[in-house]
Amino acid sequence: MPISESIGSLPVLGLIYNYGPYAAAAFLFLINPGTGWLLMHIEARVGGTPPGNRPHYLAELWGERVFLPLCIGCAVFILQKAPVVKDGWYTHWLWHVAMLAAGVYLSYWLEKGALKGDQYTLAQEKSPAKAWHTFILPFVFYWLASAAVPVVINFTLLPIASGGVVAGLAMFIIMNLMDQAEIRKDPYAKTDAHMECEYSPEFRCFPRDAY
């Protein structure tokens, strides 16, 4: 039985679990920081700052590129060895819908706070790279959260893989805390991580407050 069925994943979204740990880690890397990096290059072609010349958050540089892929890869490794449980509460579709809804709310809450705190402007929130990150965050949260319970239940099956899950998640949290500490110290330290973009009368991007 595919992992997506054994843990009750939502249709399509659960496919990330079915093709092995390396494929899951690679997919998470490509769908989140990989796509964001590509969109930053597109922004640079219409006036924005190239991604290599922008300030970057540690959560993006290391958390999303290294530690979250490590976490999901090790989680899938454990799920491959886990016994099938068809009637666990964490396999119910309502649980999975709730995890996706929690991800949507988390993404909304983070961006609302970023706007309120002047971390980003509305024009930055509408930039392709930032909009993609806002859009994909609920799914990334879902992929990690929906697998959490069966992974924890089967933690002792593969101690090394379990250590990878803990290390990946812990380091991602630490990267975020370090970013937040820097923002508290200087709220505008990395405001140019995303460009301001306009879509009318033509698509163009530029550093914050450049015009």
Return the minimum-mean-pLDDT range out of 25-29, 104-108, 157-161, 172-176: 157-161
C-beta separation of 73 from 162 below 8 A: no
Exposure b/e, 181-197, CB count within 10 A at least 16 = b: eebeeeeeebbbbbbbb
Res. 209: pLDDT tops 80: no
Show Cβ contacts of residue 90 under 8 Å, excluding neighbours closer than 6 positions: 7, 8, 146, 149, 150
**Interval 80-96: pLDDT, tens:** 998 877 778 999 999 99
Closest CA to 16 of 1, 7, 6, 3: 3
DSSP string for 131-154: HHHHHHHHHHHHHHHHHHHHHHHT
Classify 170 in phi/psi space as left (phi over 0), alpha (psi -120 to 50) or beta.
Answer: alpha
Per-residue pLDDT, 211: 52
Report angle CA 138, 159, 12 to the nearest 5 degrees. 30
The proportion of the chain whose per-residue pLDDT surpasses 70, expressed as a percent, equals 99
Mean of pLDDT over the chain: 94
Res. 139: pLDDT tops 90: yes
**Interval 31-89: pLDDT, tens:** 999 999 999 999 999 999 999 999 999 999 999 999 999 999 999 999 999 887 777 89
